[in-house]
Amino acid sequence: MKDLTSEEIEEFNKNGFLVKEKFFDEDEILEIRKWIYEYSEKKPEDWKEGQEMGYYETSKNSGDRILTRLENFVDYNENFHNLVYSKKIMNCVEILLGEKCVFFKEKINFKNPGGAGFKPHQDIISRWDDYAPDFMNVLIATDKGTIENGCLEVAAGFHNKGFLGPYDAPIPEERLKEMTFEPLKHFLGDVVFFNGFTPHQSKENKSNSPRTNLYLTYNKLSDGDHREKYFERKRKELPPDNERGENFKDSPLHEYK
């Protein structure tokens, strides 16, 4: 699967997202899933300073600190590196962006039972526009996504309305009144392409099983390669748990970003 149909491109341009079912076959996605779950039991002290960035939250079920997000791991994992730069993904991203692209960032969301949701937001609120004006996200479903376990929800058509503001905060209530969020229930191997301006959210995981997603983000090559600068700032402004001092205070975004 290297290309997208004209109907799929039109759908993406209209809605700001595109779901590709069974983008990865069973063998492929189970292998990717295995790589992700190799990280899942790591504690804050297991990470090396200056490398992978692990973020934790307190479970609403057990009260334990659980891994909720991992970033900046592709450069330390050959399997993920090969996936990020595979033609299977790159070709689709470049079709939707309209030109050659460059890899910007990555994260794994580990939504364990009792894990919190993500408030309604656009990714641009994290000041991505300091680096480039447009981005493409690729969600790879490495677990089944359901209403109960807090699947991704998106608001169609609002990617064309630009930045809804303000920075470093959820979408304002007055703008939310205009939106209807559609739950994107998905299965293993499904992929969702969505624009960096597409409003999205998810609710907490009320099921008894974990739900993981892998997110890869790209920008146009003509806008430059800003990956290193992004993570330099991210590590300074919102360091991973193992690099925080005693006086660290979470930002208002931390619970959902």
Using the Cα atoms of residue 229, residue 191, residue 168 and residue 115 in order, give the sign of their dihedral: negative
pLDDT band at 164 (very low <50, low <70, confident <90, very high): very high
Residues 6+ apart with CB under 8 A from 203: 117, 147, 150, 153
Q: What is the pLDDT of residue 41?
A: 87
Q: What is the pLDDT of residue 250?
A: 57
Phi, psi for residue 124 in degrees, rounded to 5: -65, -20
Give the residue carrying structure tokens 């690729």: 138
Instruction: Give the tens place of pLDDT for each residue, 101-152.
Output: 999 999 999 988 888 888 999 999 999 999 999 999 999 999 999 999 999 9
Residues 6+ apart with CB under 8 A from 42: 54, 67
pLDDT (mean) for 173-178? 94
pLDDT band at 252 (very low <50, low <70, confident <90, very high): very low
User: Of all residues in the chain, what percent carry a pLDDT higher than 90?
Assistant: 83
pLDDT band at 249 (very low <50, low <70, confident <90, very high): low
Instruction: Give the tens place of pLDDT for each residue, 214-248.
Output: 999 999 999 999 999 999 999 999 999 999 987 66
**Alpha-carbon gap, residue 138 to 119, rounded angstroms:** 19
pTM of this structure: 0.93
pLDDT (mean) for 74-101? 97
Instruction: Give the tens place of pLDDT for each residue, 37-82.
Output: 999 989 999 999 999 999 998 877 777 788 999 999 999 999 999 9
Kindly list the domain boundaries of the chain, sorted by start residue. 6-226
Chain-centre distance of CA 94, in angstroms?
18
6-226, CATH topology level: Jelly Rolls (2.60.120)
